[in-house]
Every structure is written in C-alpha cells, then in structure tokens.
Amino acid sequence: MSKALLSIRDLTVEFDTPAGTVHAVNGVSFDVNPGEVLGLVGESGCGKTVTLLAALRLLAEPPARLVGGQALFQGRDLLRLPRRELRRVRGRDIGFVFQDPLTSLHPSMRVGDQIAEALRVHDRGLAAAAARARVVDLLDLVGVPRPATRLRDYPHQWSGGMRQRAMIAAAIANRPALLIADEPTTALDVTIQAQVLDVLRLAAAETGAATVLVSHDLGVIAELAARVVVMYGGRVVETAPVGELFARPRHPYTAALLASVPRVDGPLRLSDPVPGQPPTLLEQPVGCSFAGRCPCREDRERCVVEAPELAPGTHKVACHFPLTASRS
C-alpha cells in the first residue's frame, strides 16, 4: 500500500451546547491513499462530515472544540499549521465539494466569477483572460452546456444538479491532490445523481486526485469507492475493501446497515431497518457505541464495559464478537 496522502489519527471533537457536551467524534483514525476513492458511510449524525471539517479546521470554535488528534496531509499536520499556510492548502491541494451548493455559492456573484476566484486566490499573477478560459474549460469538463455563456449566470438561475457541477468545477480548479465530496447527490433526483457521479469520476481522472466520498447511500459507495470506512456514534467501527465489506460485513452495525437497503436481486423481500435509535452523543459510552442496538450482544457484559479497538489488517473491525458468516 502506498504511503497515505491523508492520515487522520485519534481525532476527537466536541461541541458545547445548552444541553451539554456533544461527543461528536471519538478517536477516529483512517488513511486516504494516493489516487484511491474512499467511501465514508454511516447514519446521519455519526460524525462523517464533522471529521472532515475538523481535519480542515472549518468548524466554528466555539461551539466546536478540537480535543486531540492529528490530520497529516502530505506529512504536515493540518491541525497545527499556521492559518496562512492552511489557507494555501485548502482549495489548492485539497478541494471540497460541500453538501448544499445553493448555500455554498454566493447568491450575488456570477458563477464564473466564483470559480475564477478559486483560481486567482492561489495564483495572484493569473490574468483575468486566462482565468476565464480555464473556467470555460472546467465548466465544459463537468458537463455544463454553453459554458462560455452560462458562466455569467447567477446561482439561482441554475438547477441543483448544475450548481453541484459548478461546485465540483471550483473544487478541482487547482488540480488538488485530494478531493472531498460531502453527500454530493443529496436532494437530487436519481437521473441527476447518476450524472453528478459521472462528473466526479471525470474530475478525479482529470486531476489524479484521491477522493473521499461521504454518503449514507450505499449504492453510491458500491459504485464509486474502492475502500469503505463505516462510522457509528462518532467512531470508526469497520473498514475494508468495498467488495469484501458488502459480501462479508463483520460488524453487526455494518450488516444491519446493508440489510436495511432493499435488494433487487434474488427473492423479493422487505428491507430490515436497523433496530432502536442512534446514541445522543451527550454521554460518551463506556463500551461499544452500538451495544444498545446490537442484535448479537445478548448478555455479554464486555460489550458495555469495554470499548472495542479496530483490529489490524486489511479488513478492520471494532467489535469484541465480530460476525463470521457471509451475508445472505
């Protein structure tokens, strides 16, 4: 395996709220290797987005509080870089496609000007004409029709799918080494989702960037990712190559997550929702974060008194009693 491009180690993030301290991310560790597509999956509120925003120091502090950990990118810890150096990394070496393009794009700036700004902020000597030509090329790459004309539009004149294409264009403008896409197909219909996913593939191929794809849509992950990290309750519970994970999930939560997805192959059956409710994260569990919902726990006391660690290997699982049978 190549040396990791991004290595997150023991990242812990908390939020101060009127209800108390929310333990949003608890000792999260995973690597992103050069050129790979890594899927980051889990239920809403499990800490996927917070992990990546914290690694890039994009969380408002307060209420967020970085308790500890490292985010090593190309050997440098992003969590300890001076702000000036960090700004050079964000947008140039790391591109970020945010979840909601309508709130990420400035409503009173033309789309083309916003993409050009992403270029010129990292290349002060870039002439306006050269920036415009690059914007046209980027919009053409992501499938925007008549890019030389449409770059003068405002965000409200574009559909959700088109705005997402603009966000991808801005994220890859400086040919980053790492592209992070946070729920890039949320709120889009199925046809547009497929088009946006194709654009992400093209974007990664254009730049050679490694990609972190954050999603709760397992179909999207199965289609694009080579390796998957599963999060639950602010922790990583399993990580494996995508084919291995889907065929032989070892953590009970991963198996329950896969069982909740309707199957179109084999006999017709209803999906099985994951039982119970996710933890509130206001209290840090002493044992396994999934113990309260786990169908395999029975009366095993170890699950509630001792937090499991990720086992070493290609297929890592944080479970005292991992599954061994193949998924049916």
What's the average model confidence in pLDDT over 87-92?
A: 89
Of 3, 62, 8, 12, give the one whose Cα is nearest residue 307. Answer: 12
pLDDT: which is higher, 1 or 153 = 153
In this prediction, residue 8 has a pLDDT band, given cuts at 50, 70 and 90, of very high
pTM for the whole structure: 0.88
1 pLDDT more than 60? no
Distance CA 233, CA 25 (A): 8
pLDDT at residue 328, as a whole number: 40
**Distance, CA of 107 to CA of 315 (rounded, Å):** 45
Q: Which of 27, 19, 18, 20 is nearest to 66 (CA)?
A: 27
Mean pLDDT (whole number) for 42-51: 89
pLDDT in tens, 61-87: 889 999 999 999 998 999 999 999 998
Query: What average pLDDT is seen over the chain?
Result: 87
Sign, Cα dihedral of 76, 51, 303, 217: negative
What's the pLDDT score for residue 266?
A: 60
Residue 213: predicted pLDDT: 93
- Answer yes or no: is pLDDT of 214 > 80: yes
Three-state SS letters, 26-54: EEEEEEECCCCEEEEECCCCCCHHHHHHH
pLDDT band at 236, cuts 50/70/90? very high
- Condensed to tens digits (0 to 9), the pLDDT of residues 9-36 reads 999 999 999 989 999 999 999 999 998 9
With bands split at pLDDT 50, 70 and 90, how would you rate the model's confidence at 109?
very high
Angle (CA) 295 301 303, round 5°: 55
User: Looking at residue 195, what is its pLDDT?
Assistant: 80
pLDDT digits (tens, 9 = 90+) for 246-294: 999 999 999 988 887 766 666 656 666 777 778 888 887 788 888 888 8
Q: Is residue 298 very low, low, confident or very high in pLDDT (cuts 50, 70, 90)?
A: low
pLDDT value of residue 205: 80
Q: Out of 145-154, 172-181, 265-274, which region has the weakest mean confidence (pLDDT)?
A: 265-274
Domains of the chain, each with CATH number or no CATH = 1-31+47-90+229-328 (3.40.50.300), 94-207 (3.40.50.300)
Supply 214's token pair. Answer: 């954050």
The number of beta carbons lying within 10 Å of the beta carbon of residue 173 is 26
